[in-house]
Structure 1
Amino acid sequence: MKDSLSHIKVVELFAGVGGFRIGLQNASETYKVVWSNQFEPSTKSQIASEIYEARFGKENHSNVDIGKVPTSEIPNHDMLVGGFPCQDYSVARTLNQAAGLVGKKGVLWWEIERIIREKHNKPKFVFLENVDRLIKSPAKQRGRDFAIMLSSLASHGYIIEWRVINAADYGFPQRRRRVFILAYKENTNIANKIHASVQSDWLVKDGTIAKAFPVMPIKPLREVYISSNLEELTESFNIIGGDSPFENTGILIGNKAYTLKTSSRYNGRITTLSDILLDGNVPEKYYINEQDLHIWKYLKGAKKEKRINKASGFEYNYAEGGMVFPDALDKPSRTIITGEGGSAPSRFKHIIEDKTGRLRRLTPIELERLNMFPDNHTAEASDVRRAFLMGNALVTGVIEKIAASILEVENAKDRMVENAI
């Protein structure tokens, strides 16, 4: 057995305003971010990077396109983390429009792979986050993109574990479903424990993610073969179509993925939308104008109507269900989206009825609280941009619990593993 970890040097890619860093540091002082990168190619403004520097300092922070950063300039590290850009997988786009790995944003996955491949001292752990649709992308070969990522990591000597987690299922204040991916280098204690375990036991009760976020199986474990030949995967994986072979829980060991469908198992305290609201002193600009109320009600309401495509003149029937209006205060919130900010009426923005009986939008501080950031973490940005940044962020509490579990499982003595080595 190797000695317990006293510190873990972390490199944070696609850092945003530092959600991964907050979660890791809340978990333990063991995690030390030694280098970070945040660059937004679609705008001259680099407000996310500026906020990151304001909160954590400029030292060892890069605001350069990661594709232009030589691997040699990135310090050696024990853990590589990042919520890599997800626009090509986002549920905000219909599935048949999801460009996947060939999309402009999707190719940034290969920057992660490039850093791992070119590092002589490869990180012991890789910890990634993305939208849950990733495991079903693209539409014509569902699961292919995820299979390519898994195979790429395995080729560099990793065992890979994943889980789709809805933060609200475990007491957090927002319904936000994301896939979390953990890769363990073969020389880690966790990898040794995986080899000594039964796959289903690891995924359901003994594993890193299972200890942080308990589940129960609702479908039997199944095996999926994943070729180590990426060209073969690209051309032939799930070519006959149908559902993705990957369930919401799984692990890849070598060329075999073991996957099963699970549901959350949690009976602790639930944080609701009402728990994060400001107690008074909300500026008037967040309240709905009475003259706009009918627009909000229309956008939030159920519809069945004829519409005409402005470009083609084609007439079609449009239907959508109604949304709770105003948002329920006794439950976790809906998912924050990047378009949450601004006063213009919208179907997807949160609207609450506060203690005064008036309807209003959520403030930037409340949006930060839904992702478990400190109050005013994004204060340097405009209100609209602050909402955008939170729509792109993650629930830091999920990172915190997984990070704490990594330390617990990696450092725990395991007689079965000691006897097997």
Structure 2
Amino acid sequence: MKKTVCELFAGVGGFRLGLSKTNIDWDFVWANQWEPGKKTQHAFDCYVNHFGKNENHVNEDISIIDKKKIPNHNLLMGGFPCQDYSVAQSGAKGINGKKGVLWWEIRDIVEAKKPSFVLLENVDRLLKSPAKQRGRDFGIMLRSFNDLGYSVEWRVINAAEYGCAQKRRRVFIFAYKNKTKYAKKVNNYSLENIIYENGFFAGQFEVIRGIMSGVAVASESTYPNINEYNDLVDVSENFKYEFKNAGIMRAGKFYTVKTMPVEIKPVTLGEVLEKEVSEEYYLASNLEKWKTLKGAKKIERVSNTGHKYTYSEGTMSFPDSLEKPARTMLTSESSVNRSSHVVEDKLTKRLRLITPLEAERLNGFDDNWTNTGMPHKFRYFCMGNALVVDLVTRMGKELGEIIDSE
């Protein structure tokens, strides 16, 4: 089977860069990146700068693209936002998801192109969304894949626990067609064994096999079944489940369990710092404001219903420790806010922000990857949206072996 790839919501190319570092010959046949409301498409320009401009790099709203015209591919991959996936009955038109929700674009591509394998990335709260009906959105995803003839494995991975320089926790979702040789291979194993020993994530992201929580292991006949619901509308209106950080769905039945990583020593924040940086990154007269932002606080607030409550925040390290991996970067990195990293410069011993290059290193990108003409603030924004490249490289090695076996 050819290693043909379609990349959605490509950003600045983290998925593609991760696969390229496997030294496996991946053929990217199509990629899409579109930033709504942006006059200048900086992320797309960065992608094109690294991977070349041709007719298969598309800078258009995915919702207006004819899915049938996307080139055939065996691997569909991309990171997408956590949104409200709810669906409703729409008369003769059947079941409709909410307009503008990108999950439905992914689902439509899977239906139209039928890739053998799908690898997706999202924030880990997807497993618990929405707050009023925990697990509903992920249940809709599982049922969608099941209806299209796929099995699904998922794992929440904290990059720092597997040797990377950032405590970035994301859920990765691996779906595969039930007709593949890979599916037939893993069907020989129990759902439990797939998670711990024989599944997609088990080889590259080892976990401790010990006391488990979640569904009883006694018999797969006791496992919840997404097919017990009539259709996606039924799932949307009635499904609720406490998904754990790892799981597998096969033929509608799913098993989910909380796993603990076999940790690898992480790269520290101190190890990614540049030796000399520009004066613009140092904190100036607003040092006291930073101390206030990072300090503990209790603030009286009033809810929309008029209810008074106390909003509390604990103390954050100020500056950030150089002996530990970085905290999760957000899109607001470098702005004057509580979540931005502040470090003591190794050379000058003065406090400063991290640089765009250091932000790239925290995600495993090559130095100056985003130095393609975009403003500094947007370089941070791109890294706040990006995934950790090294994780994709490890998954890519596994994917290469799987596709070779097809």
Is TM (by shorter chain) over 0.5?
Answer: yes
Runs of 4+ in 1 over 6 A off after TM superposition: 102-106, 311-315
1:206-355, aligned counterparts within 5 Å? 206-217=198-209, 218-220=211-213, 222=215, 223-227=223-227, 229-238=231-240, 244-266=241-263, 268-280=264-276, 282-289=277-284, 291-306=285-300, 316-342=309-335, 345-355=336-346
Q: Which residue is 1:93 aligned to?
A: none
1:200-244 Cα offsets, whole Å, 9 max, x none, are 111012211010100124424522221261111112112xxxxx4
Conserved 8 A contact 1:341-1:385: no
Distance 1:232 1:296, change over 3 A: same
CA deviation string 1:282-316 (max 9, x = no partner): 00000000x2111100100011244578x999865
1:144 to 136, 147, 156: 136
Rounded Cα–Cα distance in structure 1 between residues aligned with 2:181 and 2:68: 28
Alignment of 1:118 with 2:109, yes or no, is: no
Question: 1:382 corresponds to which residue?
Answer: 375
Q: Percent identity?
A: 48
Instruction: Please point out which of 20, 25, 36 is paired with 1:30.
Output: 25
- Name 2:92's counterpart in structure 1: none
Query: Residues 74 and 115 of structure 2 are in contact (CA less than 8 Å); yes or no, is this contact kept in structure 1?
Result: yes
Cα separation, partners in 2 of 1:269 and 1:378, compared to 1, 3 Å: same
- How far apart are 1:402 and its partner, in Å? 1.0
Mapped to 1, the partners of 2:15 and 2:61 lie a distance apart of 19
CA contact (8 A) 2:3 2:403 kept: no
Task: Report the CA distance between 1:341 and its aligned residue.
Answer: 3.0
Cα distance in 1, alignment partners of residues 59 and 213 from structure 2: 46
Query: Unaligned 5+ residue runs, structure 2?
Result: 88-96, 216-222
Q: CA deviation at 1:129?
A: 0.3
Letter paired with 1:245? E
1:364-403 alignment runs, 5 A limit: 364-379=356-371, 380-403=373-396
- Aligned residues of 1:189 and 1:411 also touching (Cα < 8 A): no
Question: Following superposition of structure 1 onto structure 2, how do residues 43-62 of structure 1 map, counting pairs within 5 Å?
Answer: 43-59=38-54, 60-62=56-58
In structure 1, C-alpha distance between the alignment counterparts of 2:188 and 2:121, rounded to whole Å: 27
Q: Distance in 1 between matches of 2:127 and 2:239?
A: 13
Equivalent pair of 1:66/1:111 in contact (CA under 8 Å): yes
Amino acid at match of 1:62: V
Q: In 1, distance between residues paired with 2:122 and 2:299?
A: 35
Change (3 A) 1:315 1:164: closer
Report the equivalent of 2:124.
Answer: 132
Contact 1:200–1:221 (CA under 8 A) maintained in structure 2: no
In 2, Cα distance between the equivalents of 1:369 and 1:83? 19
Aligned partners of 1:188 and 1:410 also within 8 Å: no
TM-score computed with the length of structure 2 as normaliser: 0.89
RMSD: 2.1
CA distance in 1, matches of 2:214, 2:169: 22
| Cα distance between partner residues in 2 of 1:308 and 1:68 | 42
Which amino acid in 2 is paired with 1:43?
K
Q: 1:232 to 1:101 in 2, by over 3 A?
A: closer
Shift of 1:26: 1.1
1:394 is paired with a residue whose SS is coil
CA contact (8 A) 2:343 2:352 kept: yes
**Matched position secondary structure for 1:211:** coil
TM-score after normalising by structure 1: 0.86
In structure 1, C-alpha distance between the alignment counterparts of 2:239 and 2:352, rounded to whole Å: 48
**Aligned counterpart, 1:182:** 174
Distance 1:159 1:316, change over 3 A: closer
Q: Which residue is equivalent to 2:65?
A: 69
* Residues 86, 236 of structure 2: 8 Å contact kept: no
Report the Cα distance in structure 2 between the residues aligned to 1:101 and 1:53, rounded to whole angstroms.
34
After the TM superposition, which of the residue ranges 123-132 and 180-189 deviates more from structure 2? Answer: 180-189
Structure 1, unaligned runs of 5 or more: 89-98, 239-243, 414-421
Alpha-carbon distance in 2 for matches of 1:69, 1:306: 48
